[in-house]
Structure 1
């Protein structure tokens, strides 16, 4: 059953947007920032032949480089200043989040509220710089050894190129991190998520055109393309439904007295999402599985047979071993990351501290066991859902040759970011409408005659 706030937000008329001046400024700022990001994905790194880099990426597009190029909106393939994109910051955020569960002092910072959160954000920025330096140095060294049909990838290799390349790539990542924080503070939605969203969406038109071109040339039948588009809409509907699904555990707070005032007890709920881990499990699983293919493509001659080539061939897209390991790793990381982001014992202790309890369950350890049992069942369903969504593109690419990364990580990111942004827009509209009602009530109160 929907809550009162959800019912009120559902009844909002988006015609209020014309009067919400503050919201319009935020939307225009967000669009302007994303345009700046897209322009930066076409500014090349000095001293690099983009044609050679594009040729090399086409050869190794099935590895981890192809996934990073998808997240960066093609910036890696063009070797631009935003080639690293925001991925070092994402990696640093995940590492800091995992370390808070392992380091007691960091876990204490997490519980200190706003001050602790600022301290952890500072650690995340420092770690982002270190990761970006490491990745940029690896790219600079790797570029100097790359050659294609058009010649060497670097015009003038040497220390000057390495330093300039590292400075450019790290500076681009730092700028994107700052831009994402500005979007979060002065725009609409989560800035970091919107930057990744813009990179993925930028590749969708070309992928759709390629699919339609295959239909025009007869490589794909018209019936299959129509079925493909209808299936895409159906799966998007399922993803939205699952991402919004939650198990609401009832929580009751007893009556309490503060001074001479008596506060009545209230009933609320603890929402547990069906997919608590979000998009992290597919990213981790695909990164691990794509590493062998990436290393095999760059370390040895592809024409020679070796154990690394054998493993990369067995772990190729669409192979049974790849799909089996992919689903197993997704399920593992779904349970692992859920255990990191949600601690049933801490939640039960917080409920007990403030006098809350789950009806029919004793506070403390019994509540923690109950929450853990419910969360485990939800994670089983969530892991199965992630496996199904992520296996669909592998089947389409390997069996039908569809050049369209449909489903999987990209679809989950697009749907999640869209839902979060729309929710924030609705919240701003609701707040604006609420402020208008307050102003009308005050004006009405001033105009009423005073009683004698």
Structure 2
């Protein structure tokens, strides 16, 4: 890995991309320290610590929520807006047609998503500030000011992510989430080690947590790299005086093709009640939800089913076996033992459903493992499975993109 990074550093354009990405991530982390005016931070920190359903959002923002900086919501409203737009593109024919218009259509969808992000961020910011008692000044204009500051922070985070997409390495939005998670996890690990040092947590319990955490990292890495390869045989053809084709290649289908998105989508939806209950934090429903969230068996079941459903849903809208079959046929290829056309599409679809099933089961088990472990032995894992999955997947995907850049220049990669 370090050899690849050194080789990348020797190439001027890749060095610029790496430096640009690091600079934008540094800018994002610096903005995370800009305070929101008119906020009582001690009150907010105490409120967030007492509401378990905000823990995942606090992790994704790198503890910015409990500090209530202008990046308190991070990129969460953008994720919610993306979920809404993907669902609307399936439900509304005009948006579906716009999505199929190619690059111009995708640009229009992206622009609409930006507007939805800012509007949703403003409403979510006001809900959080009211629910958490963020300000001692309860005048309406003060909450409007806080809402504008937080929605502006979200817009800045979205802009930074898009700039990384255009000029840097990796997926900008994912890298912002990655930066927040790493900042949060590092603090959690240090706190856990201190608890072991002072005797608050036994050494044996710490050893068990360490082994389980390492096993989760290995499992996430292996599944993220796993793929099913469908062989493709191309027919020979004569072009001029030369014979072309006849070679055998393959189509790689990732075991976890949807990546971390189903987990992020499911977590975002499970977080939605917090926005509603933030207006009535002392109500019976809010207290019940706080008890239900993250600990009960029903929560584990619902969360797992949502991850399962989103995995199949996202795969269905991003993977088109019919189009893949057409491309294979147009290029003179075929799957050995399978006829071209519809039989090929059906075969690819069957393989896709099988590996998607395994990927969905893996995501669901991994996401509910910390809760199950807590209910079994009463210990909290410092590394949440959802956060760990996102961090590892983003790191691997970024490494893949860097490797692809290196392979274009005939350098040896490190993810073989």
TM-score range, shorter chain: 0.7 to 0.9
Which of 232, 238, 247 is residue 213 of structure 2 equivalent to?
Answer: 232
Match of 1:280 in 2: 261
**2:53 paired with 1:58:** no
Which of 295, 319, 322 is residue 296 of structure 2 equivalent to?
Answer: 319
Q: How does 1:395-410 map to 2 (within 5 A)?
A: 395-410=372-387
* In structure 2, distance between residues paired with 1:74 and 1:270: 41
Q: Displacement of 1:290 after TM fit?
A: 5.0
**2:152 paired with 1:163:** no
Q: How does 1:419-434 map to 2 (within 5 A)?
A: 419-432=396-409
Given that 2:209 and 2:381 are in contact with CA atoms closer than 8 Å, whether structure 1 keeps it comes out as: no
Q: How does 1:30-429 map to 2 (within 5 A)?
A: 30-60=21-51, 62-63=52-53, 65-142=54-131, 146=133, 153-256=134-237, 263-289=244-270, 299=280, 301=282, 309=287, 313=291, 315-429=292-406
Q: Displacement of 1:205 after TM fit?
A: 2.0
Q: Displacement of 1:352 after TM fit?
A: 3.7
Q: Displacement of 1:90 after TM fit?
A: 1.9
- TM-score (norm: length of structure 1): 0.81
- The DSSP-based 3-state class of the residue aligned with 1:44 is coil
Match of 1:443 in 2: none
- The DSSP-based 3-state class of the residue aligned with 1:250 is strand
* In structure 1, distance between residues paired with 2:41 and 2:316: 43
- The DSSP-based 3-state class of the residue aligned with 2:38 is coil
Q: Displacement of 1:115 after TM fit?
A: 3.0
Tell me how many residue pairs correspond in the alignment.
411
Given that 2:228 and 2:252 are in contact with CA atoms closer than 8 Å, whether structure 1 keeps it comes out as: yes
Given that 2:35 and 2:70 are in contact with CA atoms closer than 8 Å, whether structure 1 keeps it comes out as: yes
Relative to structure 1, the CA distance from residue 74 to residue 14 in structure 2 (aligned partners, 3 Å threshold; closer, same or farther) is closer
What is the CA deviation profile of residues 383-442 of structure 1, one whole-angstrom value per residue up to 9, with x for unaligned ones? 2211221122213444555454424221111011101122222333344456xxxxxxxx
Which shifted more, 184-193 or 259-268? 259-268
What is the CA deviation profile of residues 326-384 of structure 1, one whole-angstrom value per residue up to 9, with x for unaligned ones? 32332222222222222323333443444433222222222222122111211221122
Relative to structure 1, the CA distance from residue 427 to residue 340 in structure 2 (aligned partners, 3 Å threshold; closer, same or farther) is closer
Relative to structure 1, the CA distance from residue 361 to residue 424 in structure 2 (aligned partners, 3 Å threshold; closer, same or farther) is same
* In structure 2, distance between residues paired with 1:367 and 1:178: 42
Match of 2:414 in 1: none
- TM-score (norm: length of structure 2): 0.87
Q: Which runs of 5+ in 2 are unaligned?
A: 412-416
Q: Displacement of 1:81 after TM fit?
A: 0.7
- The DSSP-based 3-state class of the residue aligned with 2:249 is strand
Q: What's the C-alpha RMSD, in Å, of the aligned pairs? A: 2.9
What is the CA deviation profile of residues 8-52 of structure 1, one whole-angstrom value per residue up to 9, with x for unaligned ones? xx9975542452233233222222221221121121111111111
* In structure 2, distance between residues paired with 1:338 and 1:403: 32
Q: Displacement of 1:82 after TM fit?
A: 0.9
- The DSSP-based 3-state class of the residue aligned with 1:268 is strand
* In structure 2, distance between residues paired with 1:159 and 1:310: 29
- The DSSP-based 3-state class of the residue aligned with 2:333 is coil
* In structure 2, distance between residues paired with 1:301 and 1:407: 27
- The DSSP-based 3-state class of the residue aligned with 2:36 is coil
Relative to structure 1, the CA distance from residue 299 to residue 196 in structure 2 (aligned partners, 3 Å threshold; closer, same or farther) is same
Which shifted more, 361-370 or 234-243? 361-370
Q: Which runs of 5+ in 1 are unaligned?
A: 1-9, 147-152, 435-452
Q: Displacement of 1:97 after TM fit?
A: 3.1
Given that 2:32 and 2:71 are in contact with CA atoms closer than 8 Å, whether structure 1 keeps it comes out as: yes
- The DSSP-based 3-state class of the residue aligned with 1:299 is coil
